Amino acid sequence: MPACLIIDDEPDIRTLIALALGRDGITCHLAADLAEARQLLDAAGEELDFCLTDMRLPDGDGLDLLEEIRDTFPTLPVAVITAHGQVDAAVRALKAGAFDFVSKPIEQLVLKRLVRDALKRRAADATTEPDDTPISRTEAPVDASPLLGESRAMQALRMTIDKVARSQAPVFIHGESGTGKELVARQIHARSGRADGPFVPVNCGAIPADLIESELFGHKKGAFTGAHQSNSGLFRAAEGGTLLLDEVAELPLSLQVKLLRVIQERKVRPVGEHSEIPVDVRILSASHQDLAAAVREGRFRHDLFYRLNVIELKVPPLRDRLDDLPILCRHILDKLAAREQCAPMDITPDALSWLASLSFEGNIRELENRLERAMALSDGDRLTRKVLSDSLMTPAAHLPAQDAHLEIPGLPSLNFGQAPHNALEAEEQRMVLNALEDTRWNRSEAARQLGMTLRQLRYRLSKWGVE
């Protein structure tokens, strides 16, 4: 029978929690202060499955007890009780290692969810043998994760993912474009107690500003023009699982206020509805932008930043993990060969050395693009330095910094205010301009063909100086 420790100085709250959990067959040990809690931990700590403690107690702070439990019973999940609206207190508790938090007044559905997640984590810890042996570079568990690499940076990233997956704290994943932020988020979900629930990624920058509230929170039929049927929204689609807010810095300021309320209250209000609906979702966010800088510039709310950035996880760029190039190239070439149903190609040491000299602004995505292009243009069964370098020798990749232009038959010469920084951007320019030519410069249709929003297409054209 599961057992828990409840610590709160208000007798009514202790009793109500004990009654609610008792109906689910959970044995409750009750304490009114830190002194009683320490006595119960000494007597029955090994038998406990989770702990729920108030932040403010007559003889101290609940966070002090949290640190003691982490030292003595490191696998015991601890959740904290905070006063209504005390976001700072909840964030402090999560940063200190709390499994989760619940606000007063405590709702039974929220309590049941918290207990369910705590027991899942406890069960997972019980089936995992602890191993404090340092991981050597030759023994890195590469096959245990789709995050490939034996570099120290990747070993540290995988270990951090294992740690943050154990809690319900929001995680902000920061990294350059192409580093694999969504893959990191999927690993956090897969290794968490929510692994059997859905993982729902949403690119905040790809949804038009006037539709994003409806997409996230849902809407009622007839709530606005075009709402011919009700939509439950992505938050409710992720019920019991994880929601990834990718490129979260792109959220409009007006929506950031509503998102903050959803995170704090754990309820959504669909557009057109008057009542809120509880949601059980763990939120992960990601961006290639510096959110702290966005806060200073007034583009991102500081209160939402602190709520999302409880734990920050940085994904290393490829140039900081060049030791991983051989295994990454092998994996990519095998994947491409399987897709094309052909024999896998080898890559020569001189080709790897040449790749290691590049800056890789596009990171893993750029590496895959380079290998795929070279593989398509190669006549042999090996990728050499010459094959890789020749595959990128295109006129657009070597345009002069000033007065760069591209000729398209039937259209006047297009002047770029900014030449491409690398071959990957040059290829993107060609794809965009070809799509515009195919659609006779119908930007909406070109954006649809390219798989991007009209806003994203306009941004690229503006960035390249095309009017």
* Interacting residues of 421 by C-beta distance below 8 A, sequence separation 6+: 361
Residues 304 and 158 in one domain: yes
* Interacting residues of 229 by C-beta distance below 8 A, sequence separation 6+: 221
Confidence of residue 406 (pLDDT cuts 50, 70, 90): very low
Distance CA 386, CA 201 (A): 39
Domain stop point among 74, 92, 126: 126
Strand, coil or helix: what is 193?
coil
Give the tens place of pLDDT for each residue, 83-100.
755 667 777 787 778 888
Distance CA 422, CA 361 (A): 8
Q: Which domain holds residue 459?
A: 399-464
What H or E segment, with its residue span, contains residue 435? Answer: helix 423-438
Give the pLDDT of residue 424.
62
DSSP-derived secondary structure for 102-165: EESSPPHHHHHHHHHHHHHHHHHHHTS----PPPPGGG--GGGSSS---SHHHHHHHHHHHHHT
Mean pLDDT of 276-299: 91
Instruction: Pick the closest to residue 401 from 419, 428, 383, 423 (CA basis).
Output: 419
Give the pLDDT of residue 417.
52
Give the tens place of pLDDT for each residue, 138-175.
333 334 567 888 889 899 899 889 888 888 888 999 99
Whether 134 maps to a domain, the answer reads no
Is pLDDT of 129 > 80?
A: no
Give the tens place of pLDDT for each residue, 350-378.
888 888 888 888 899 889 888 888 888 77
Give the pLDDT of residue 236.
92
Residues 106 and 149 in one domain: no
Give the pLDDT of residue 249.
92
What is the residue whose two structure tokens read 């810890």? 125
DSSP-derived secondary structure for 230-288: -B--HHHHTTTSEEEEETGGGS-HHHHHHHHHHHHH-EE--BT-SS-EE---EEEEEES
Give me the count of residues in the chain: 467
Whether 131 maps to a domain, the answer reads no
Domain stop point among 293, 314, 335: 314
Is pLDDT of 415 > 80?
A: no
Share of residues in the chain with pLDDT > 70 (%): 86
Residues 275 and 361 in one domain: no
Residues 146 and 37 in one domain: no
Please answer whether residues 308 and 262 qualify as being in contact, where contact means their C-beta atoms are separated by less than 8 angstroms. no
Give the pLDDT of residue 241.
92
CATH number for the domain that contains residue 336: 1.10.8.60
Residues 168 and 306 in one domain: yes
Q: What is the pTM of this model?
A: 0.70
Whether 52 maps to a domain, the answer reads yes
Distance CA 13, CA 9 (A): 8
* Per-chain mean pLDDT for the chain: 81
Domain stop point among 69, 91, 126: 126
Residues 41 and 12 in one domain: yes
Q: How many domains does the chain have?
A: 4
CATH number for the domain that contains residue 310: 3.40.50.300
Is pLDDT of 392 > 50?
A: yes
